[in-house]
Amino acid sequence: AQKVTQAQTEISVVEKEDVTLDCVYETRDTTYYLFWYKQPPSGELVFLIRRNSFDEQNEISGRYSWNFQKSTSSFNFTITASQVVDSAVYFCALSDNNAGNMLTFGGGTRLMVKP
Amino acid sequence: NAGVMQNPRHLVRRRGQEARLRCSPMKGHSHVYWYRQLPEEGLKFMVYLQKENIIDESGMPKERFSAEFPKEGPSILRIQQVVRGDSAAYFCASSPVRGAADGYTFGSGTRLTVV
């Protein structure tokens, strides 16, 4: 069965601090896909990144970076020099061959960036 | 090119009434997925539909909930005889191909409040 765990339910930082959001997943498949979504206070879901299980290269996009480690089944997300606009709930999600029609979401991490 | 359109954005129903949530997928997308987000939780898969067919309803509650995606018109998620526990955000997503591997485009959600 698939499972995604985001152990940090809430994180509070001061602007300009770096922050890492943890994501640990479980799957029996060797082919799977990992995602991060952002849910700002307005409520919509914003796609951030998709990663397949065969690509372990870390990725950087501006202030965002992702660290994918198969050995620890983790797909962590780091925001560098956080800004108030980064305040949101962030969800990690998994799709694998066993449940190919659906995304399995973690419980989310609420990030609060204070000025 | 409009994204996934959901309406209404907010819906208030009294206990025992019916709730109808609508979702128009992105142009060219024939696969629609419904997810539910209970307060302070992650999203949970409900149902996956293609035009005129329910493909996977493994996440749908057994009673009072139904979904359709007719040949013409939007997909509808219908909740009969609503109860307070149905209060949640309901998200629709669409994709051009089957499955979640490529990720979805989510709508902005419908927030249902049962009073």
CA distance A11 to chain B (A): 14
Rounded to an integer, what distance in angstroms lies between the CA atom of residue B19 and that of residue B81?
8
Task: Choose among A21, A17, A20, A38: nearest CA to A82.
Answer: A17
Q: Which residues are CB-contacts of A15 (< 8 A; sequence separation ≥ 6)?
A: A82, A83, A84, A113, A114, A115
- Kindly list the residues from chain A whose CB atom is less than 8 angstroms away from the CB atom of residue B99: 95, 100-101
> Residue B100 is nearest to which of A4, A45, A101, comparing CB atoms?
A101
Strand partners for A43: none
**pLDDT per residue over A3-13, tens digit each?**
999 999 999 99
pLDDT the model gives residue B42: 86
CA distance B107 to chain A (A): 7
- Positions in chain B whose pLDDT score sits under 70: 1
Burial level of B64, CB count in 10 A (0-12/13-18/19+)?
A: middle
User: Residues 39 to 98 of B: which have CB under 8 A from any A CB?
Assistant: 41-45, 48, 55-56, 59, 89, 91, 98
Mean pLDDT by 10 residues, chain A (115 residues): 93 97 95 93 91 88 94 96 97 85 92 97
Q: What's the half-sphere exposure (Cβ side, CA atoms, 13 Å) at A76?
A: 14
